[in-house]
Amino acid sequence: MKKTLLFCSIFLGSFISYSQHFQLESENAKSIKFQFDFEEKAFEYKEINGQTTIDFSKTFKILSQEKGAPALPLFHETIQLPEKGNPEIEITFDQVTIFENVLVAPSKGVIKRNVEPSSVASVFGSVYNSNAFYPSQVASLKTPFIWRSMRAAVVEVSPYQYNPVTKQLIVYEGIHIDVKTNTELVGINELYGQTDPVMKSIQQKTVLNPTIEKYAPVEESGSMLVIASPTLMEEIQPLVDWKNQKGIRSQLVSTATTGVTDTDIHTYIQNYYTSHPELIYVLLVGDDEDIPAHTYGMSGGENLFSDSYYGQMTGGDYYPELFVGRFSGTESNVTTMVSRTLEYEKNPFAGDWMEKAIGLGSNEGDGIGDDGEPDWQHLRNIRTVLMGYGYSEVSEFYDGSHGGEDATGSPNSGVILPVVNSGIGLFNYTGHGDVNLCVTGNFQSSHINQATNNGKYPFVISVACNNGTFTSGTTCISEAWTRATQNGTPSGAIGAAGSSILMAWAQPMQTQDEMAEIIAETYSDNHKTTLGGLFYNSQMSMLEEYPAGSGIEVMQTWVLFGDPSAQFRNKQTLPITVTHTGNVPMNATSITAACNVDGALVAVSQNNVLLGSAIASGGQAVITFPTLTTNDYLLVTATKQNYATYQHAVQVANGPLGVNELELAFEVYPNPANNELQVVVSNGTAESIRIIGLDGKVVLAKQFLNGTQETINSSSLEAGSYIVEIISGTQNVRKNIQILH
Residue 385 is inside which H or E element, if any? helix 375-389
DSSP state of 347: S
Active-site hit among 432, 447, 580, 648: 432
Distance CA(319)–CA(37), nearest Å, equals 27
Taking a C-beta distance cutoff of 8 angstroms, is the pair 395, 421 a contact?
A: no
| Three-class secondary structure of residue 545 per DSSP | helix
Distance CA(179)–CA(645), nearest Å, equals 49
Active-site hit among 438, 465, 476, 595: 465
Q: In sequence order, what are the beta bridge partners of 397?
A: 360
Taking a C-beta distance cutoff of 8 angstroms, is the pair 614, 704 a contact?
A: no
Q: Is 8 a catalytic residue?
A: no
Q: Residue 21: left if φ>0, alpha if ψ -120 to 50, beta else—which one?
A: alpha
User: How does DSSP assign 458-491, residue by residue?
Assistant: -EEEEESTTTT---TT---HHHHHHH-EETTEE-
The amino acid sitting at 417 is L
Q: Give the C-alpha distances (Å, rounded to integers) separating 97 from 1, 64, 75, 367.
A: 10, 20, 18, 25
The amino acid sitting at 146 is I
Residue 245 is inside which H or E element, if any? helix 233-246
Taking a C-beta distance cutoff of 8 angstroms, is the pair 269, 282 a contact?
A: yes
Helix axes 531-545, 507-519, angle to 10 degrees: 130
Q: For residue 715, how many other CB atoms are within 10 A of its CB?
A: 11
Distance CA(68)–CA(60), nearest Å, equals 19
Phi, psi angle pair for 184, to nearest 5° = -80, -15
Distance CA(617)–CA(606), nearest Å, equals 24
Q: Is 476 a catalytic residue?
A: no
Which of 484, 528, 428 shows the shortest CA–CA distance to 206? 528
The amino acid sitting at 424 is I
Q: In sequence order, what are the beta bridge partners of 561?
A: 326, 496
Q: Give the C-alpha distances (Å, rounded to integers) separating 231 from 59, 241, 286, 333.
A: 54, 18, 9, 12
Contacts of 425 (CB under 8 A, 6+ apart): 353, 354, 355, 356, 357, 456, 457, 458, 459, 568, 569, 570
Phi, psi angle pair for 266, to nearest 5° = -65, -40
Distance CA(528)–CA(317), nearest Å, equals 23
Which residues form the catalytic set?
432, 465
